[in-house]
Structure 1
Amino acid sequence: MSVISSARSRATAAAPTRPANLPSLTGLRFFAALLVFFFHASLTDSPIPPNAPINPFAHDGVAEVFTTAFSKAGYMGVSFFFVLSGFVLAWASRPGERLTSFYRRRVCKIFPNHLVVFAASMLLFAGAAVTSVGHWLPNMLLLHTFFPQPAINLSVNPPSWSLGSEFLFYLLFPLLIVLIRKIRENRLWLWSGLMIAGMVGVQLVTRFLIPDTPKSAITPISDMQFWFGYLFPPTRVFEFALGIMLARIVLAGRWPRRIGIGVSVVLSAIGYAAALVAPFEYGFVVATIIPVAALICSVATADVQGRETWLRSRPMVWLGEVSFGFYLVQGVTIFYLRSLLGEATYSIPVAILVVIGFFAASLLGGWLLYRFVETPAMRHLSRSRKRPAAPVAIPSPAPATHDTLVEQSSAPTRS
């Protein structure tokens, strides 16, 4: 009996009550949103008809550099968010949690912000352009990216397309986490590689099997290729599943020490450069997925080890917290304000001020969403108002393996 008690004591002592908080990873989220902002601010063709230029620089050379430099930034930023979503949900998951509780929190996380920005978009510009209920209703319900027609999948608030993928991720997570928890630790890297292979496969299908006509108004490929390779939610599940596996890798202490934040930043620069020169479809995900994974894991590892990083400073954590709202409003802000300016372009100093104005307005809108929509919704709607049931005594657990301890850990990290 004493031997069993001793074993249980050692297992309990070895088991963390919950994984570490990840403030540096929260701060890093803002830079992903910032990549999307600069991508939209540098566009030569707006996704909103009549697809007028957004880039405000009059100097042709500067305008071209601005557009080229950020031409893959939005794709990398979105891929980062998809991988991070799986990582954070797995990090914070609690075995035995009720499905209704999980889905309630996820719905409260995305729908209030989405519906507010949806309404603002309809009032500001989309209402005049989107006259068919078949165009705007799928967007409101976050089903729009299951339709291949650009008039539907990029309707109302174009950046909201990514929420269609996130919504699918949330629906699949309870199943995926159960399956991924069954993977032995020594096979997590193999399965992670298979997820990356799946991403490559999606783009091979996009390039060689999906019709390449008619050409898209805003990309060098066809509308159908852009939809399948970038917008279609099932093709993005590989990134989300990879994030779940990466969380297990970090929790298990299997992330290589040599790949720290500095190395990950260098890899990100190399991956981004590769995206600039690779065939267009491979710039969506494939060229940057390994750097994105390395960056997330190295920053999370720094937090787990308690190392100080400037990303965990109070201003950066605040920016990370408002990043979801910032991401949702930056498209509407840029597209609408640019439409008020017409097709005018400006000298370099004035154009820089225009971009700064776009940023300030987007950041303000993001904070307003976070402060007055997202936070109250999560506080008042994400939990059941039913009186909790009386606690049930739980038998003392058997000695736990490391895998069991990983599965039972949880953290209040936001996604």
Structure 2
Amino acid sequence: MASSTSSDAAKRAKLPSLTGLRFFAALLVFFFHSSLTDSPIPPNAPINPFADATIADWFSTAFSKAGYLGVSFFFVLSGFVLAWASKPGERFTAFIRRRLLKIFPNHVVVFAAAMILFAGAAVTSVADWLPNLFLIHTWFPQPTVNLSVNPPSWSLGSELLFYVLFPLLIIPIRKIRGNALWVWSALMVAGMVAIQLISTYLVPDTPKSTITPVSGMQFWFGYLLPLGRVFEFALGILLARVVLAGLWPKRVGFGAALALTVLGYAAALVAPFQYGFVVATIIPVAALIGATASADVEGRATFLRSRPMVWLGEVSFGFYLVQGVTIFYLRSLLGTETYSVPVALLVIAGFFCASLLGGWLLFRFVEMPAMRRFGRSRRRTQQAPAAVSEPYGSRATAPAAVPDPTAVPAPDPVPVATAGRTS
């Protein structure tokens, strides 16, 4: 039975639980990077800090697909949030300006930090790092380009494409009614399966990648190429329409969706490598986002909507962007040594605290000032200073309670020279 929530009530609802949930997706990426057996910084020593081989192997295996899950969550969430807050007739220029302001200031600051700390010594030519600066690097199949400087920033290249496509996609999706929304959602999942089938059987499987069990071209086509990730973004838009229309099934609540996510993650651990990118977990991810949003719409209390969780969700984009650079650089300062369990846990806690501090600094002193200063049209601000329309889910339209779709982070699981461990 579908939820009885009316469309009008849904449109008025804020989504604090989705904001809080966003932090856990970024945290998955953090643990993925903390568990790597090879650092991207020469001499490529282990990041995984555990000296006990059994514990180190468990830690590495347990989080080997965490980054893929986090990225997929953020891509679906991007479509969901933009569709949730969108309004017919909003100007494309205003929308794209706010979206660019949301990602580029943070990206440029972290890009510069990575270049200073370690990436500048690794890139050999301007052609390697310049596409990264402008977030077009994932259109290039060469690993020296698409994973250059700050590897987690690859996901922002997909987000940039999403922002350009959103005003085009939302128009026909608004016209879909009733159960046809579920049919189109199923077609988006079928598109994700098709991407991996093409990657498996039509994309050259040689030469093998140095960081995954598949070829470099298969990894690029099946995971990094922005066009292939549009299906997740479009699914998020469709899910928002489902919840807004009151069609989310009541029996799929947060608990059931969380259990389904655990099962999907277990499937990703044993599935053929490419199918662990998205296919194994996409239905659980969609269920988790839909169920969490539905809980917010119906006013059900969740721990995710508490003030601390909303704050963590707000800083999660900055946290996602800095955690890779923070972990890689701090681990390089520690050398090749591994540690007893208590000390290793303290090392991971130190990585976390430093990353969270960096994320907050980006949010407080880069992201928010940029949005306040440049996020509004000067002409419209002068005309209506008390009620500026912020299209497509910018912070002014939906303050702290509505999750920012950019957070994806995209988290990227940073590909590192560890077979089968790249996200």
Q: Would you call these one fold, judging by a TM-score over 0.5?
A: yes
Paired-residue identity, %: 75
For 2:300, the equivalent position in structure 1 comes to 307
d(CA) in 1 for partners of 2:13 and 2:114?
38
Aligned with 1:44: secondary structure?
Answer: coil
How far residue 185 of structure 1 moved from its aligned partner, in angstroms, is: 2.2
Aligned with 1:183: secondary structure?
Answer: coil
Pick one of 103, 107, 118 that aligns with 1:114: 107
For 1:327, the equivalent position in structure 2 comes to 320
For 1:354, the equivalent position in structure 2 comes to 347
Q: Quick check: 1:266 aligned with 2:259?
A: yes
For 1:205, the equivalent position in structure 2 comes to 198
Pick one of 151, 160, 174 that aligns with 1:181: 174
d(CA) in 2 for partners of 1:145 and 1:311?
33
After superposing the two structures, state which structure 1 stretch, 49-58 or 232-241, moved more: 49-58
Judge conservation of contact 1:82–1:239 (CA < 8 Å) in 2.
yes
For 1:337, the equivalent position in structure 2 comes to 330
Q: Quick check: 1:317 aligned with 2:310?
A: yes
- RMSD between aligned residues: 1.6
After superposing the two structures, state which structure 1 stretch, 352-361 or 52-61, moved more: 52-61
Q: Could you list the per-position Cα deviations for residues 45-81 of structure 1 after superposition, in whole angstroms to 9, with x for gaps in the alignment?
A: 2344554321111111111000000000000000000
How far residue 186 of structure 1 moved from its aligned partner, in angstroms, is: 2.2
How far residue 20 of structure 1 moved from its aligned partner, in angstroms, is: 0.5
1:140-289 counterparts in 2 under 5 A? Answer: 140-289=133-282
Query: What stretches of structure 1 of length at least 5 have no aligned partner?
Result: 1-12, 392-409
1:362-373 counterparts in 2 under 5 A? Answer: 362-373=355-366
d(CA) in 2 for partners of 1:411 and 1:357?
33
d(CA) in 2 for partners of 1:301 and 1:221?
39
* Counterpart residue identity of residue 370, structure 1: F
d(CA) in 2 for partners of 1:105 and 1:14?
26
CA 1:348–1:252 in 2, change beyond 3 Å: closer, same or farther?
same
Judge conservation of contact 2:265–2:280 (CA < 8 Å) in 1.
yes
Q: Could you list the per-position Cα deviations for residues 70-109 of structure 1 after superposition, in whole angstroms to 9, with x for gaps in the alignment?
A: 0000000000000000000000101111111100100000
Aligned with 2:278: secondary structure?
Answer: coil
For 2:123, the equivalent position in structure 1 comes to 130
For 1:400, the equivalent position in structure 2 comes to none
Number of corresponding residues: 385
Given the two structures, how large is their TM-score scaled by the length of structure 1? 0.90
For 2:412, the equivalent position in structure 1 comes to none
For 1:65, the equivalent position in structure 2 comes to 58
For 2:18, the equivalent position in structure 1 comes to 25
Q: Could you list the per-position Cα deviations for residues 156-206 of structure 1 after superposition, in whole angstroms to 9, with x for gaps in the alignment?
A: 000000000000000100001012112222200000000000000101111
* Counterpart residue identity of residue 195, structure 2: V
Judge conservation of contact 2:101–2:370 (CA < 8 Å) in 1.
yes
Judge conservation of contact 1:35–1:77 (CA < 8 Å) in 2.
yes
d(CA) in 2 for partners of 1:209 and 1:48?
33
Point out the structure with max Rg over C-alpha: 1
